[in-house]
Structure 1
């Protein structure tokens, strides 16, 4: 799991409709080769925004590789989570954004960490700047040029997904209205995504449900027992008088 948590990996702004396309192709039963071809064709006919020229072959390949890694060919330990996320997408398509958020967070913990730093800053102030987010990420990943560049792709993805809004000032963002996650099974799935994104694979219940990486969402209040009884992959560990720790089974 260490390699996944240390990687940055997202070399392109990821648009929400691209995630939908990848998941839909998987749902209709195409094999990996067929999905890759379909995604290349899909992205070759799209522009990231109206000001961009046609997507270059290299940039498109980066995007397709990211989408394949997220939905089609995730690491083996993520397959059960991927399958559960796909089932949830079929059952509650209206909550697709939250499901995709969980999936990309598990596969690319860098996305989760950019979101976590963004959410922390938004808890303190109404607006957040790209520079503030990147400075906090450098404390975690080191002052590498790739951190700055790839973090910008993730932040622009947040804007593309409409969970952050551009403000009047360049490089400054505001929070969008949060999405309420009322379906318990989806909330549990999102909790699992956080455990997969955290290197230790465990977290106190309160910190998990209120994780700033979920800043675009409002998760319901749940007990550790409620979660562990409904999840085959999450265990509960009690410590102290009232504290509950959630951890992935087998870790």
Structure 2
């Protein structure tokens, strides 16, 4: 049985910003109508527009129950976030919503630890190994690459290779808490080493040195030492 792909087309930051700004205001049914109206100027084809709406809703509106509290908290401060912080949140929620996007991001992160440039061919090969050598996987890989490029996460060099954009530094305690919760979610874990969170290849476009004091004050995490140096962060039971 082949794994589902679901990532059909390029997603733009202004579309994600707009979706986030509407998410707390409208019902699910209303959201589809509102997004359809908003996207008409950019996406003329009805099928393409429907695909885009499905993706935007999955990323921001129909999030997993576990992430709803932090999603809502981020939305409460969304207008105060910097452009870079908004990119970070879009990135995290897209990773949580789409395992295919997550796997492409992870492969980029892994390869960027070894080299400065990554070819689209290497990414495509890895995705076909994981998801099957089918047209849908090619389309989805291209859609993820075009999205990352549109977000300035990766930048083209030569014909078919990419380099990393400039690292985005994240110091906002709320966004750091969001990072921890997204990683716990996608890794299906209740605890992670702080060092792993700060250097995880899924978040290769970003630099984040966790503010342990601020995170501890949020009362949703506990910290304990493992050995002499390893600090572990753990989600508190609700």
> TM-score, normalized by length of structure 2?
0.86
Q: For residues 88 and 151 of structure 1, do their structure 2 counterparts lie closer, same or farther at Cα, with a shift above 3 Å needed?
A: farther
**Match among 126, 148, 151 for residue 136 of structure 1:** 126
Give yes or no for contact 2:21–2:75 (8 Å, CA) kept in 1. Answer: no
Residue 114 in structure 1 maps to residue 104 in structure 2: yes
Deviates more, 1:66-75 or 1:83-92: 83-92
Quick check: 2:74–2:174 contact (8 Å CA) kept in 1? no
**CA offset at residue 84 of structure 1?**
2.1
* CA–CA separation in structure 1 for the residues paired with 2:222 and 2:36: 40
Which of 116, 123, 129 pairs up with 1:126? 116
Any conservation in 1 of the 2:169–2:208 contact (CA below 8 Å)?
yes
Asked if the contact 1:16–1:161 (Cα under 8 Å) also holds between the matched residues in 2, the reply is yes
Query: Could you say if the C-alpha distance between residues 109 and 197 of structure 1 is closer, same or farther in structure 2, counting changes exceeding 3 Å?
Result: farther
- Counterpart of 2:218 (choices 200, 210, 230) is 230
Cα deviation 1:138-159 (Å, max 9, x = unaligned): 45x3434244432221111100
Runs of 4+ in 1 over 6 A off after TM superposition: none
Mapping for residues 41-80 of structure 1, pairs under 5 Å = 41-47=37-43, 54=44, 56-80=45-69
Provide the aligned C-alpha RMSD in A. 2.4
- Residues 197-239 of structure 1 deviation map (CA, whole Å, 9 limit, x = unaligned): 223454322111111121221112444x65344252x444543
TM-score (norm 1): 0.82
What residue number does 2:202 align with? 213
Q: Deviations over 1:41-72 (max 9, x none)?
A: 2222104xxxxxx4x22221111011111212
SS state of the match for residue 18, structure 2? helix
Shift of 1:132: 1.2
The structure-2 alpha-carbon separation of the partners of 1:199 and 1:148, relative to structure 1 and needing over 3 Å to count, comes to farther
The residue number in structure 2 matching 1:50 is none
Pair 1:96–1:131, CA change in 2 (3 A)? same
2:30 to 30, 34, 54: 34
Equivalenced residue count is 234
- Write the distance in 1 (CA, Å) between the matches of 2:110 and 2:22: 35
Flag structure 1 segments of 5+ consecutive residues without an equivalent. 1-5, 48-53
Match of 2:19 in 1: 22
Equivalent residues of 1:39, 1:64 under 8 A apart? yes
Q: Which of 169, 173, 178 is matched with 2:167 structurally? A: 178
Q: Distance in 1 between matches of 2:28 and 2:154?
A: 32
